Amino acid sequence: MLRRVALTSSLLLFGCAVNLTPDEPAAENPPAAPREFRAAWVASVANIDWPSRSNLTVQQQQAEIVLMLDQAKALNLNAILLQVRPAADALYPSALEPWSEYLTGRQGKAPEPFYDPLKMWIDEAHLRGIELHAWLNPYRARHPSARSALAGNHITATHPWAVKQYGDVLWMDPAEPVAVKRTLDVVADLVRRYDVDGIHIDDYFYPYPVPSGDGTELEFPDQPAWQRYLSAKGQSARADWRREQVNKLIEQMYGVVHQEKVWVRFGISPFGLGRPERRPAGITGFSQYDKIYADAELWLSKGWLDYVAPQLYWLIDQTPQAFPVLLETWARENTQSRHLWPGLFTSRIDNSSKSWQSEEIARQIGLTRTHAGAGGHIHFSMVALLQDRRGIATLLKAGPYATAALVPATPWLGAQVPDAPRLSLQQAEGPNVPDRVLIRTADDPSVNRFSIWKRYGSKWVFSVQAASQTELTLEADSTLGKPAVIVVSCVNRLGIESARTTLPLRP
């Protein structure tokens, strides 16, 4: 995390270079690499982020992918959470579920000419040294924004008893085994077939309550499964029974992910308020524990996730849901020391009279950096950064994101240290051709990034490069001139960094 490495406060907030003290030899001793998870959600449901419309051509869809990832790279983000299953459908070719209408305008219709959107997202993200986490909704079967007819291979057609109408949504019943199996099969298929860095689910478990019109809430129609439970001599109260259905899915999902690929991280983004009896005095609001049957504190205590991203979508000074108080609460619940990367409501910056100020998000990032339990954050959502609403992207680039950062390491999934790289200088053959540094690594498929320090005089400059790019072009910096030293280390899929290799350069 940025605050725990040997960096000056000016680097933390603004600079991309580190000043060396005069007595520091430092050619072999650049600072520790900055560490911070910097991500954005890219929502496909209702075409919130990507694709921006359901009737785009393939060329337009692909141009938007490149545009978003170029912006992510320019902002020094290091991860994207892409929604690939908004409602028991798919934004990738799947034998289990139909193509999403948010991609092509009609559920079940493949893009024409054909391409695999998820593969393109992964390939383009990795080319830029950015992680790609596949984001799924585990239970939703149809969103109110949907307009096209349901496809014949959608779960509503193949297993209609497992799907329930609740308000204006269709919802897979968490207590129906076929619904649970479908979600787990989708997760296994994604991890097996795609080079994703993470599997991610959001805050939708049982659906959010719908008012009935008489001052009460509609009961979720899970009576068949409930009656089966009672007939089998079940003793739990209905609310506890519902929570147990969700708990079993979370535990199984964590196991499925790591059974397929141990290095793929599993993350959850629950609603930002936890159990009422565990909240600090003065914190009030919706209870996910009682209303959508999500026991996020249990999942943390059991270690059934690799990162938690509670949606802290409130202002710092909003007393009943104060951002710093909630951040501390989630850190206290994180007894297994999993990654804590809170979600930030960046899209609340808009053109309305109730818009947040851009500085609010920058201040919230600052609070996460000063908290010992937090190691990053996630923006909802990418479109706000892409549009630079009220200058938010410009502010972040000039301040908190002025330097690149590595994703924090996940040693509980594996602690193998990769071998250090080998560096060699390839000198230019002409006056206008820059020198190059060639980077060679051991035959280790887990290495996916290079951590790079360049020293210009008495300043160190940090960058991250995809391991597929095995050359560094040594062009002179317009302000700092030519680098005098290059220091490179290998970083693997779990963020474990190798020993460093130092290469002095010619004057």
- pLDDT tens sequence across 286-297: 999 999 999 999
Burial class (CB within 10 angstroms; exposed 0-12, middle 13-18, buried 19+) of 416: exposed
What are the CA-CA distances from residue 498 to residues 37, 191, 429 (Å)? 19, 26, 32
Which pLDDT value is given to residue 16? 38
Q: Cβ atoms within 10 A of the Cβ of 32, count? A: 14
Confidence of residue 507 (pLDDT cuts 50, 70, 90): low
Q: Average pLDDT of the chain?
A: 93
The fraction of the chain above a pLDDT of 70, given in percent, is: 94
pLDDT of residue 475: 85
Where is 41: in which H helix or E strand?
Answer: strand 37-42
Q: Are 45 and 100 in contact (CB under 8 A)?
A: no
Mean pLDDT, range 406-423, rounded to an integer = 97
85: closest CA among 151, 122, 138?
138
Whether the CB-CB separation of 207 and 166 falls below 8 Å is answered with: yes
| Residue found by looking up tokens 């280390």 in the block | 489
pLDDT at position 346: 98
- For residue 160, whether the previous peptide bond is cis, meaning omega lies within 30 degrees of 0, is no
- E runs forming strands in 130-271: 131-136, 140-142, 163-166, 169-172, 198-201, 265-268
Higher pLDDT, 97 or 480: 97
Banded pLDDT at 215 (limits 50, 70, 90): confident
Give the mean pLDDT of 84-89.
98
The predicted-structure confidence for 295-310, as pLDDT tens digits, reads as follows: 999 999 999 999 999 9
Structure tokens at 166: 């609740």
SS3 content of the chain, % helix, strand, coil (to 5): 30, 20, 50
**What residues contact residue 191 under an 8 Å CB cut-off, 6+ apart?**
199, 256, 257, 260, 261, 264
What is the average pLDDT across 165-179? Answer: 98
Distance CA 88, CA 141 (A): 5
pLDDT over 90 (residue 477): no
CB atoms within 10 A of CB 168: 10
Tokens of 242: 């519902």
Read off the pLDDT of residues 258-273 as tens digits, 9 standing for 90 and up.
999 999 999 999 999 9
pLDDT of residue 345 exceeding 50, the answer is yes
Q: What is the pLDDT of residue 433?
A: 80
End-to-end CA distance of the chain: 34
Look at residue 451 and give its three-state secondary structure: strand
Query: What element of type H or E holds 186?
Result: helix 177-193
DSSP 35: B
Greatest alpha-carbon pair distance for the chain in Å reads: 84
In this predicted structure, the answer to whether residue 190 has a pLDDT above a threshold of 50 is yes
Q: Do residues 112 and 58 make contact, with C-beta atoms less than 8 angstroms apart? A: yes
User: Tell me: the pLDDT tens digits for 356-411?
Assistant: 999 999 999 999 999 999 999 999 999 999 999 999 999 999 999 999 999 999 99
Fold of 4-11+21-31+414-504: Immunoglobulin-like (2.60.40)
pLDDT at 25: 46
* Residue 205: per-residue pLDDT: 97
**Considering only 211-215, 421-425, 428-432, which range has the smallest mean pLDDT?**
428-432
Q: Residue 364 corresponds to which tokens in the numbers above? A: 């919230």
Closest of 326, 312, 307 to residue 268, by C-alpha: 307
pLDDT tens for each residue of 2-60: 433 333 333 333 333 443 333 344 445 899 999 999 999 999 999 999 999 999 999 99
Predicted TM-score (pTM) of this structure: 0.94
CATH number belonging to domain 35-402: 3.20.20.80
What is the mean pLDDT of the segment spanning 121-134?
A: 98
Give the pLDDT confidence of 426-474 residue by residue, as tens digits: 987 777 788 899 999 998 999 999 999 999 988 999 999 999 999 999 8
What are the structural domain ranges in the chain? 4-11+21-31+414-504, 35-402
- The answer to whether the CB of 31 falls within 8 A of the CB of 6 is yes
Smallest CA-to-CA distance from 228 within 294, 177, 302, 291 is with: 177
Q: How many whole angstroms separate alpha carbon 339 and alpha carbon 374?
A: 7
Tokens encoding 386: 């892409």
